[in-house]
Structure 1
Amino acid sequence: MPGTNSALRGRLLGALLWLCVTACAAALTTPARAAPDGARRPAAGGGVVSDDPASWTPDVLDGSVYQVVQVGELMYAAGSFGSERDAGSNQVRRIRSLFAFDARTGAIDTRFRPVLDGPVTALAAAPDGRSLYVAGSFRSGGSARAPYLARVDAGTGAAWPGFRPSTLDGPVARLVLAGDRLIAGGSFQTVDRRSRPALASFDPATGRATGDVNLRLAVPRHTTSGARSPIKVTALAVTPDHRTLIFGGNFDQVAGRARAQLAVADLGAGNVRLDPWSTTRYQPQCSDHFPTYVRGIAVAPGGGWFVVAATGGGRAGKLCDAVARFDLAGDGSPAWVNWTGGDTLLSAAITDAAVYVGGHQRWLDNPKGNNSAGPGAVSRPGIAAVSTSNGRALAWNPRKDRGVGVFCILATDAGLWITSDTTHVHGEYHARIAFFPA
């Protein structure tokens, strides 16, 4: 984030980034077993995707798209928008917060018409291939039987029979489905009036809270200038074998142990336990205007390592405004780091060929830049790819309008999806959704 921002702008942008950023982790970490109803797994091998987006993706005409997920041959797009249209069409459709379209042609599915009264910030495909979990800051509507969390029919958008979620006191920002656990992260502090700050699990069939994810997130961070924020989860991912949960957010303690902004948990049988893995690299303060700067987590297809995308403002040597790789069998030191030189990264996806990162960055390979191109910096506006082995920027450079940034990157066998708040990629009109063919 540019260091020239005023304190007020910094606080507002920090809050906006928290509201907008959503995880693609549920889609990126598809189970090792067959995906439901043809849902596609992360693209493997074959080099990076094309840098020229497909021409047929639908246009989202307002707001932001925070996440996409695939169920069968349909893509589902979630966000804060209210109007869409097919590519090349003048016919505007008005479906709020969540709509579906054909994954091969981009044609909007007019049968899917959910009714929700607020933004949708997270999605997860249900294992039956006929429904999906929906989370956000909505309070009610025909598709939601309770605030913040719902399950909807993938064909119609209607509320799914029998799914009546437990009562949450605040929004859900992240969802992952890990075996028989639906795990939610967000800014809620209680579940059914019991203390369960920012992280909880639910029965995927009924939506009722389960007690096995109770990691007692505590000690909300604050800056030396006095900026504070409640405990919350800003990033959430699960390994492909569903054995390990990785999460980040505004906390310095988990299960009574020091864990600065980033923690790993064991999802074995019984109650979820804090894993011994830890790092101190997210303990230092970055921005003066907001206390937490972890924004996105993506797990490698093999499950042995992950990356963290961060905001925070350029601070030499710290992991602010950078993407960093960590090995789950390592000592908590990053295997590599790539700095933007002062611009936010919000999202990431990993394939065998590359780590894709998105945000509102101008450069990569820029550890000495401070809102400028330092020695060795390369121009990579909005979206970029880096080497899985050393983190250096690859030649792939579609060039995207920066805006607030890329909120979601989803890798499938067919290619790479990105969502954002902007309208141009590769010098072409692609309103808030773009797809790069494999």
Structure 2
Amino acid sequence: MCTAALLDASLATAADGSGPLSADPLSTWQTDGVVWSLASANGVVYVGGTFDTVRPPGAAPGQKAVKRTNFAAFDAATGKLLPCAPSFTGLNHTVRAMKASPDGRTLYVGGSFNSVGSTRVANAVAIKTGDCSLSADFRPAVSAVVRAIDTTADAVYLGGDFNRVSGQVRSRVAAVEPKGPLLPFKADIDHPVRALSAAPSHGKVFVGGDFDSVNGRSDHALVTLDARSGATLLSYPGWFSLQASVKAIVRDNSRFFVGVEGHGPSILEPRISGRLTNGTMVWKDTCRGATQALVPFQGVLYSASHAHDCSDTPGGFPESGDRQHLMAQSMTDRSIFHWFPDTNDGMGEGVGPRALAVEKGVLWVGGEFTKVNGKPQMGLTRFGSRDTGAPKVPALSLGATQPGKVTITWRASWDRDDAALTYKIYRDGKLVGRKTESSAYWDRAQMNYTDSVKPGSRHRYTIDVTDGTNTSRKSAALTVTVPKAKAKSRTAGGHR
């Protein structure tokens, strides 16, 4: 019997009645390099990173390549490559951060680049989403790489490695008007900022990164700043190891969520939820394996990481030598859903996925991976609501025979987005039994079925397995000859 506390994606639901998306990837274009950032607006997903070309689904590296220099745009629903293709170039050229304005009319882009097409810029620009043209208004001169962007109706917040913006001192974080002028918002942060999330209705900006000091006081990895002045409003002592940094911050209407990366062995690298109003912790998971990106969708918190030990979190998995790169959790109580699509570590730093975005009900994933669910797929993939993958059919073995009885055995299969699977057993092509069992890739029980048949008969057994939507092919047949009943011995009679 499977003992793991599995939260079946087909049974467990989020607060609004929905659950995780399918773990079966949709047909998706690929990049020839790392995707660092994803953003979405008006049915379009924008892809930024360090790459020279993109290629169609299924194409091998170098085949059918289409020129796209560090930036590409796709239809979110169909996955079609769109013509929007400004070229981001310069020394160490890369796009590291993107975010659309609240009205979706403008896409703000940051990174390390000094030209967009033939236009000279300095690490941050704005693109009009309507016609994919470069905005002439938003041209702040940022002195070093921009790693994080968030937007409100009144401000564009930038975070990164820089110390000056538009000729004025701004230490790793700044705010610029949507039309370009620098805002008074100012904070003194000692090391790079890697994540931003503005909460304008609360007058706050959540700032995460590698830092240890903010505004002259000791504050490690995460602070909340006043959205207008940049003054420190909240600190988070004890939330993280001193060897950890914050790589992702997202929020909904009442909570914020933080993704952590550790630097060193045996460092917890959890996801943490806190209240927007006062910054108190709501929950914290116990996973190891650096979190690179988060996105909330319909009550589910999706994360990109390389988690390898979540054994003390409900629904989580033990250390097994494998790294699980994509996960889904309940936003209300940290529980991990049975949703396990996966990538490999890939190229570059070997991290796997680095960016997430949801648009038109489709989850887009970008990073440095070269495989998804074990099949070649480079840099980019996406997941929708349709479950299309059947569980792998198990192999049958003979457990035992006796006159009139046959016991067949098999190891439980597992499915990436359904824990409970139903196994159907066939004798000579006729369905004779079924069993339902929950399983996961780290917890697969040995199962059996005992069939009653005529002594001395011969039969062919097969099995298939279904997740309720998709059914595997039938297994290879197991042929069994049933023993005959033993003849009763006769006792000789006689006279005394």
Could you say which TM-score interval applies, normalised by the shorter chain? Answer: 0.7 to 0.9
Larger proportion of helix: 1
The AA in structure 1 aligned to 2:20 is: V
Corresponding position of 1:395? 338
The AA in structure 2 aligned to 1:278 is: S
Whether the 8 Å CA contact 2:25–2:382 is kept in 1: the answer is: yes
Matched residue SS, 2:97: strand
How many Å separate the matches in 1 of 2:273 and 2:69?
36
Equivalent positions of 1:219-230 (< 5 A) are: 220=190
1:327-365 CA-to-partner distances (Å, cap 9, x unmatched) read 33456456222222xx32211122343222212233423
After TM superposition, give the deviation of residue 157 of structure 1 in Å. 4.4
Equivalent positions of 1:132-171 (< 5 A) are: 132-142=107-117, 144-154=119-129, 157-165=132-140, 167-171=141-145
1:306-326 CA-to-partner distances (Å, cap 9, x unmatched) read 2333232344xx6x3222222
How many Å separate the matches in 2 of 1:133 and 1:331?
28
Corresponding position of 1:46? 18
Which sections of structure 2, spanning at least 5 residues, go unmatched? 1-14, 386-496
Whether the 8 Å CA contact 2:45–2:359 is kept in 1: the answer is: no
Equivalent positions of 1:194-205 (< 5 A) are: 194-205=168-179
Shift in CA distance, 239/162, structure 1 to aligned 2, threshold 3 Å: closer
1:214-272 CA-to-partner distances (Å, cap 9, x unmatched) read 1222xx4xxxxxxxxxx2101111237473211112323323443221101232xx534
1:65-98 CA-to-partner distances (Å, cap 9, x unmatched) read 1122122232210000111022246421111110
Whether the 8 Å CA contact 1:85–1:108 is kept in 2: the answer is: no
Shift in CA distance, 152/265, structure 1 to aligned 2, threshold 3 Å: same
Equivalent positions of 1:2-401 (< 5 A) are: 45-55=17-27, 57-60=28-31, 62-88=32-58, 90-117=63-90, 118-127=93-102, 129-142=104-117, 144-154=119-129, 157-165=132-140, 167-205=141-179, 207-211=180-184, 213-217=185-189, 220=190, 231-239=191-199, 241=201, 243-267=203-227, 270-275=228-233, 277-282=234-239, 284-286=241-243, 293-299=245-251, 301-315=252-266, 320-329=268-277, 332-333=280-281, 335-340=283-288, 343-365=289-311, 373-374=318-319, 381-401=324-344
1:44-74 CA-to-partner distances (Å, cap 9, x unmatched) read 651111111112x2111x2201122122232
TM-score (norm: length of structure 2):
0.66
How many Å separate the matches in 2 of 1:49 and 1:362?
22
How many Å separate the matches in 2 of 1:232 and 1:254?
11
- Range with bigger deviation, 122-131 or 187-196: 122-131
The structure that has the greater radius of gyration is 2
Matched residue SS, 1:348: strand
- Range with bigger deviation, 382-391 or 178-187: 382-391
TM-score (norm: length of structure 1):
0.74
After TM superposition, give the deviation of residue 131 of structure 1 in Å. 3.5
Matched residue SS, 1:422: coil
How many Å separate the matches in 2 of 1:201 and 1:143?
26
1:341-395 CA-to-partner distances (Å, cap 9, x unmatched) read xx3221112234322221223342368xxxx945xx7966111112323323221
* Sequence identity percentage: 25
How many Å separate the matches in 1 of 2:132 and 2:16?
31
The AA in structure 1 aligned to 2:215 is: A
Whether the 8 Å CA contact 1:365–1:392 is kept in 2: the answer is: no
RMSD: 2.8
1:278-316 CA-to-partner distances (Å, cap 9, x unmatched) read 211256432xxxxx52211221x223332333232344x
Shift in CA distance, 282/421, structure 1 to aligned 2, threshold 3 Å: same
Whether the 8 Å CA contact 1:325–1:337 is kept in 2: the answer is: no
Corresponding position of 1:436? 383
Corresponding position of 1:26? none
Whether the 8 Å CA contact 2:86–2:116 is kept in 1: the answer is: no
Larger proportion of strand: 2
Whether the 8 Å CA contact 1:346–1:405 is kept in 2: the answer is: no
After TM superposition, give the deviation of residue 208 of structure 1 in Å. 2.5
How many Å separate the matches in 1 of 2:17 and 2:358?
12
Shift in CA distance, 101/351, structure 1 to aligned 2, threshold 3 Å: closer
After TM superposition, give the deviation of residue 143 of structure 1 in Å. 6.2
After TM superposition, give the deviation of residue 408 of structure 1 in Å. 1.2
Whether the 8 Å CA contact 2:306–2:351 is kept in 1: the answer is: yes
Whether the 8 Å CA contact 1:351–1:411 is kept in 2: the answer is: yes
Matched residue SS, 2:47: strand
How many Å separate the matches in 1 of 2:359 and 2:82?
20
**Higher relative contact order, structure no. (Cα contacts within 8 Å, ≥ 6 residues apart):** 1
Shift in CA distance, 353/159, structure 1 to aligned 2, threshold 3 Å: closer
How many Å separate the matches in 2 of 1:339 and 1:262?
19
Shift in CA distance, 185/338, structure 1 to aligned 2, threshold 3 Å: same
The AA in structure 1 aligned to 2:344 is: D
After TM superposition, give the deviation of residue 134 of structure 1 in Å. 1.1
After TM superposition, give the deviation of residue 135 of structure 1 in Å. 0.7
How many Å separate the matches in 2 of 1:424 and 1:324?
28
Which sections of structure 1, spanning at least 5 residues, go unmatched? 1-42, 221-230, 287-291
